Amino acid sequence: MKRSASFLPIPGCALSALGASSKLGVLFFVVYDGDMAKLVNTFSWSHSASGDFENCRRKRYWSKYGAWGGWERDATSECKTAYRLNKMTNRFCLYGIAAEDAVMWMLKEVQAGRNPTQEKAFDTVARPALRLAWDESKGKAWERFPKAACLHEHYYPQFNNMTDREIMEQIANVVKGCLKGFEEKVLPRLADVTPEMEVQVGVVGKGDPEHFFFEGVKIYAIPDYVFVRDGVWHILDWKSGAAKDIHREQVGLYALWAWEKHQIPPEKVVLSLEYLQHGEHQTFTVSSEDLEGVRDRIRESVQDMSQYLVDSDIQKNLALPKPEWDMCYEPGLCKSCEFFQLCQPELKDVLGDEIA
């Protein structure tokens, strides 16, 4: 396959190039029906799924229910399309995953007694994966293999005002900036952390991702890095972009994970947001009252989601018909959504040329 540039710094949020997708909308259990293994679409909750649901009910429908079974030969054309589109990613997710993989490589190199540099991390970890993901997406490998990398910027070029070169330069600059920030600001603070101090976290694409159960609901919570120092659990989350208030809400869920799954009380947990590109570091703790606030938010979100299920039954987890899942009709959100193709006819009826 011909390369479109000499270094293609594009990662894949999941897919063949950089591991598995960060989306948690289509995870499932394998259960047994007699001698036959059958995939079951179980109800689950995550911070990202809740965000999708709040932004647009229809997007949640497509990712969790409309795409379900799209890998089957006898699936409808719409279902197969939803399944393929659900694998789509974009440059923002791309550079985040690339940076995360590269900083973890640097950390492991230090633990092994070597002296890694940000340049070597980019060349060893980021560059090859980015190049592969770019080639898959640009070459439309997803037409033959639904799990191949597919960038929103390539699939919907009408909504992309950047050239390939501009996208590549942006991704490269962000990833390199993150590696520089990690090497200079974060790595020195982790120099004493040994593998024995680390808490293993299940990640997407390698078995069942990290989760806990709360009031019978499977809750996905996947911290980027966790270690224990002097009896205190340090939970870190890498960020490649700028600080947002919602990030504290996200890591607050990790504190609840520490308590519900490992019985670590909040006073023994320190949460850290590492804004790698900007060299910023936010550390904070939560109280028992804060954890109760997280629980209340999950309860409220689960209750809202259940209203879009038959008989509001999360155990059966059968979606109401598609028209019952409201569309947001916000041009900015719709144009950036991976499922735009499926919603376009309805959007045009309401928004006309604004969404064409």
Beta strand 211-214 pairing with 44-46: unpaired
Closest CA to 167 of 103, 106, 92: 92
Q: Specify the pLDDT at position 208.
A: 86
42: left (phi over 0), alpha (psi -120 to 50) or beta: beta
CA-to-CA dists, residue 120 to 102, 114, 186, angstroms: 9, 12, 17
CA distance 347 to 200: 44
Q: What SS3 string covers the chain?
A: CCCCCCCCCCCCCCCCCCCCCCCCCCCCEEEEECCEEEEECCCEEEHHHHHHHHHCHHHHHHHHHHCCCCCCCCCCHHHHHHHHHCCCECHHHHHHHHHHHHHHHHHHHHHCCCCCCHHHHHHHHHHHHHHHHHHHHHCCHHHCCCCCCCEHHHHCHHHCCCCHHHHHHHHHHHHHHHHHHHHHHHHHHHCCCCHHHECCCCCCCCCCCCEEEECCEEEECCCCEEEEECCEEEEEEEECCCCCCHHHHHHHHHHHHHHHHHCCCHHHEEEEEEECCCCEEEEECCCHHHHHHHHHHHHHHHHHHHCCEHHHCCCCCCECCHHHCCCCCCHHHHHHCCCHHHHHHHHHHHHHHHHC
According to the model, what pLDDT value does residue 183 have? 96
**Beta pairing, strands 36-40 & 29-33:** antiparallel
Quote the pLDDT of residue 354: 77
**pLDDT tens per residue, the chain (356 residues)?**
333 333 343 333 333 345 444 444 444 444 434 444 678 999 999 999 999 999 999 999 999 999 999 999 999 999 999 999 999 999 999 999 999 999 999 999 999 999 999 999 999 999 998 999 999 999 999 999 988 999 999 999 999 999 999 999 999 999 999 999 999 999 999 999 999 999 999 988 778 899 999 999 999 999 999 999 999 999 999 999 999 999 999 999 999 999 999 999 999 999 999 999 999 999 999 999 999 999 999 999 999 999 999 999 999 999 999 999 999 999 999 999 999 999 999 999 898 877 76
pLDDT value at residue 10: 35
**CATH assignment, 198-286:** 3.90.320.10
